Each structure stands twice: as structure tokens, then as C-alpha cells.
Amino acid sequence: MDKKDQQFIDDYFSYYRRVFSETDIREELLAFSAVCKGVKASGNKLIFAGNGASASISSHAATDFTQHAKVRSICFNDHSLITAFANDYGYENWVMRALEAYADPGDVVVLISSSGSSPNIVNAAKYALEKSFEVVTFSGFSPENVLRSLGSLNFWVDSNAYNFVETTHLIWVLTVANIMEQDNDDNAALDEHLSGHQKALFSIDYSLELLKLRDLCREVSVRGGKMIFSGNGGSSSTSSHAATDFTKQSKVRAIAFNDHNLMSAYSNDYGQEYWIAQCIKDYANAEDAVFLLSCSGESKNVINAARVAREKGLTVVTFTGFDPGNSLRSLGNINFWVDSSNYNIIEALHSILIFCIADLLIVNSVISESVK
């Protein structure tokens, strides 16, 4: 292995080691849990919003808080809503206008921005304060960023690298959903959950697989292909984030099967178990590679997609957890397995691994400077 590659990977994971060992965020996480309990008790809702990866985190969070933590939550990620409100009111005002339309007294607004300076998010925070909504913020970059000054509870990541900030936000917000789901949000439960993250993150050396995947992405790009991402639930949000980052930042074309028209049409016509497989039949070319995410490794629609991809001669990359002998892992050419049975931990580590690759692909990456 090239020494520079190994150093990059070592530095990358060292950042997360510092997040867990040097960042004491427990008081804020428990305070956020208390806020969420209040929302649940009053019958109100959490409203999440962000741009890009922060929008994916918002989708993931809104789903997990609703489904698992039993706190009603929404996010403003429907493409019709975004384009209509942005077109009519300006992009810098669309989140504010969405709050005006959807927020009820007693709701809590959770706003996510890596830089803490995105105009639409800052304007939404100011509007929420004017209307007496409680605001919770997630930001990074400068400790004096505007958004951080506007929340009653503020989570800040000490980094200038987008993928580090975004994935840390994901870990923190899902931690709160997880401890609420278990109905056990004391310090001991929180410590146990964060320790689970550390164990999963540092118990396996992923270096060789990461470099194999980096090289595969380069090969796909050179031959004019694209990377296809897909998964369910939180894995679907990660897929959206990945497809955008690989295309926009790493300059490797990528797509995710996450448009609601496509998902509902294909599921309705071909069945929930076969819709991803049919999408691969219709959208994949011989030059492509397929990335399939499933925490359990047993999601039938993802397994069927892997089988179709292999039949088409496509390279399949899998991201799983739970049982090391899971079905999806046996179908991949390159496989990443997380030693955990906790969905949130597996999903967070999948994100760390995928965006490590995205950053490895970026020439003169700022990551190498920010982790020193």
C-alpha cells in the first residue's frame, strides 16, 4: 500500500477517534433528548431542514424520530416543494416560507448547515425565533458562525471539512433518536451507545477495501460509466448524499434511485421486492458499478438487485452489518461489513466509509490538512 494512501486513511479515522475521545457532547445530546420528549408529550412535531448532505441527514432524522423514537417529524425535502417555493420566493427564503406554511405553535425547528452560513437556513432560523419557535442548530466551520448564535441548543463540529462535519452531525442526531427509542437516555445509556460507535469504527481495518473501492471508482470514471447507489430508509438517504458528493465533489458520475415518482412507479408495477432490480435492468450500463446498502444484509429488494447486477456482469459493492454471513455480503465483489447490530451505528459507519472514498478521490483534498 502506498504510504501516502495509508497516512490519509489513518488521519481520516483519527479524526473520528478524536471526536469520540475529546468532544464531550453528552450534556447537549441529553438536552436535545429532553426537547424531543417535550415535543412528543405535547403532540407537536420536529421540523428538520438543510441543504445537500444536510437535507439527506434531515430526511434520515425525520424518518427515524417518527418511526423509532415515536416523535412526529417532517423535513422539507420534496422536490416539488423546494422548486416551487424557491422559484416563487427565492432560494434564500424558501425554508422560511415552508416554515410559515407548515409549522404549528409548539413545534421545534432543527436546522442543519455545515458552514452555519447558508442564507436559506439562517433566514429560517431568524424567522423561527421571531415566531417564538424553539430552534436547535447543527453547524461546523467557524465557532462564530451565524447559525450557531441563533439556537437555544447548538451542536458545533470543530472542522472545516464538509464530510467530517456532516457525518458527525449524523452520528449525533441519530444517537438521540436511538436512546429515545430505547427509552433510556441517562448518561450510562449514552456512554454505551457512543462506545458502540467506537467499537464498530475501530475494530476492523478497512484500508485495503477502501483503496480497492477508490481504484474501482477511478476505473468506472475512465471508462465513462457511473456509480449506482441504492438502499432502504437511512441507507436511501446515504445513497442520495453519496450520489451527489461523488458527482459534484469527486467528479465521478453517480446516481441514486431516490426520486419518489420512480420508486412508487417501479414498486407499484414490479413489486417492492423487485423494484431496485428492475431499475438496474433499465438504467445500468455495462460500464457501471452498483453500490448496495443494507444494514441487515437481508433486505429482499437489495438482494434481488445484487443478483441482477451480477447477472449483468456489473461490479457490486456491498455495505452491511449484523451477521457476517448475511446474504448480501456473499453477492459483492467488494464488501464492507460493520461489526454491530445497531442500525444507527451501522448507517453512520457506512457513511464514514463511503465519504472517505469520496475524499480520497479528490485531488489536493482539504481533508488532509483539516485532520492534522
Q: Which of 200, 225, 243 is the last residue of a domain?
A: 200
Structural domain that includes position 12: 3-200
**Within a domain: residue 172?**
yes
Residue 321 CA, distance from chain mean position:
16
The pLDDT value recorded for residue 363 is: 54
Query: What's the longest Cα–Cα distance across the chain?
Result: 57
Q: Do 168 and 262 fall within a single domain?
A: no
- Segment 151-156 shows an average pLDDT of 97
In the predicted structure, residue 366 carries a pLDDT above the cut 80:
no
Q: Which of 182, 200, 218 is the last residue of a domain?
A: 200
pTM above 0.75? yes
Quickly count: other Cβ atoms within 10 Å of residue 369's Cβ: 11
| Dist CA 313 CA 259 (whole Å) | 25
Strands laid side by side in the 334-337 sheet: 254-256, 227-231, 289-293, 315-320, 334-337
- Residue that is written with C-alpha cell 459483492 in the block: 332
Q: Do 148 and 74 fall within a single domain?
A: yes
Dump pLDDT digits (tens) for 310-328.
999 999 999 999 999 999 9
Joined together, the cell numbers standing for residue 315 give 461490479
In the predicted structure, residue 368 carries a pLDDT above the cut 80:
no
CA-closest candidate to residue 345, choices 2, 20, 78? 20
| Dist CA 187 CA 4 (whole Å) | 39
**Within a domain: residue 361?**
no
Beta bridge partners of 291: 229, 317
- Counting Cα atoms < 13 Å in the Cβ hemisphere of 107 gives 20
In the predicted structure, residue 19 carries a pLDDT above the cut 90:
no
Residues in the chain: 372
CA-closest candidate to residue 279, choices 330, 251, 328, 239? 239
Q: Do 124 and 176 fall within a single domain?
A: yes
- Residue that is written with C-alpha cell 441517562 in the block: 186
**Within a domain: residue 355?**
no
Q: Do 17 and 137 fall within a single domain?
A: yes
In the predicted structure, residue 369 carries a pLDDT above the cut 60:
no
How many domains is the chain partitioned into structurally?
A: 2
Dump pLDDT digits (tens) for 233-258.
999 999 999 999 999 999 999 999 99
pLDDT category, 355, cuts 50, 70, 90? very high
User: Which one has a higher pLDDT value, 268 or 364?
Assistant: 268
Q: At what angle do helices 234-248 and 162-181 cross, to 10 degrees?
A: 180
**Within a domain: residue 266?**
yes
Q: CA torsion 262→263→265→268, rounded to 10°?
A: 170
